[in-house]
Amino acid sequence: MGPISFGSIKKQSDRAGVLQKKRPIRRNSSLALERLRSIVDGLEKDGAHQLPTERELAELIGVGRRAVRRALEVLEAEGRIWRRQGAGTFIGAEPHHPERHLKKLPEMTNMLEVMEVRLRIEPALAQLAALRATPADVDWMRALAAKVAAADDTDGRELWDSALHRAIAAVAGNTLFLALFDVVDRVRQDETWRHVREALRTQESVAHYTSQHDEVLDAIERRDPQAAERAMREHLMDLQQRLLLPTSGALADAE
């Protein structure tokens, strides 16, 4: 991207300035938006990719930076431009970056979606683990299950529960499956849902989940893929049920 000449824009801007004096006073942001549209069109025609800085645009249009910023927000919402912190403002649609998309996932999805995916991935992983676990793997998973049961606060329980579920995914022995698990697990751990997760963990449910973990591991140790699959499904369905309870409660209250 080479330097861009703003000569033609400047001329148009002067003309707009003259016209403006004759017209009734308009809101700065609307004026900025109208001018920005023609600036973006002009630059695009010249094959440019990047817009001048906010400060330069403000000078060019003859409005404050605040008005320019607002107008840029509108263009961004329309998908005409995109911005990246520290890099600048660019013309066109934001290029697709799967990496960044993954980072945005926590704000785009929710715990119910997470559970829908977990319910489809993790029973299959438990099934595969039952086919592939070595005795050492079983010892490892048992040790993690014991840590979950022994944890005395929600934070510790969450940490060890996540470690146990990930161990089962790792023992399943499929790299791609494990990568999928990690994406979902990262979303699940997002700070946004801390209060939801905490609400899921009551004292009575801890004992229940502990026995469900044991059932999954028993089936894996017996090399019973179907039982492992079923036990994991039941465990996750209980979790999903608990997630749905507050929602159904809220609906009942509204009636």
Distance of closest approach, residue 165 Cβ to Zn ion, in angstroms: 6
Distance of closest approach, residue 200 Cβ to Zn ion, in angstroms: 10
Distances (CA, A) of 48 to 45, 121, 251: 7, 45, 52
Binding residue count for Zn ion, defined by CB under 5 A: 1
Residue 142, phi then psi, degrees to nearest 5: -65, -40
Distance of closest approach, residue 56 Cβ to Zn ion, in angstroms: 55
Distance of closest approach, residue 209 Cβ to Zn ion, in angstroms: 5
Distance of closest approach, residue 9 Cβ to Zn ion, in angstroms: 60
Candidates 89-97, 134-142, 159-167, 191-199: pick the segment binding Zn ion (CB under 5 A).
159-167
Among 161, 225, 228, 243, binds Zn ion (CB under 5 A): 161
Site for Zn ion in 15-34 (CB under 5 A): none
Q: Which is nearer to Zn ion, 12 or 210 (CB)?
A: 210
Q: Which is nearer to Zn ion, 35 or 118 (CB)?
A: 118
Candidates 15-23, 115-123, 138-146, 158-166: pick the segment binding Zn ion (CB under 5 A).
158-166
Candidates 20-28, 81-89, 157-165, 182-190: pick the segment binding Zn ion (CB under 5 A).
157-165
Q: Interface residues with Zn ion (CB under 5 A)?
A: 161
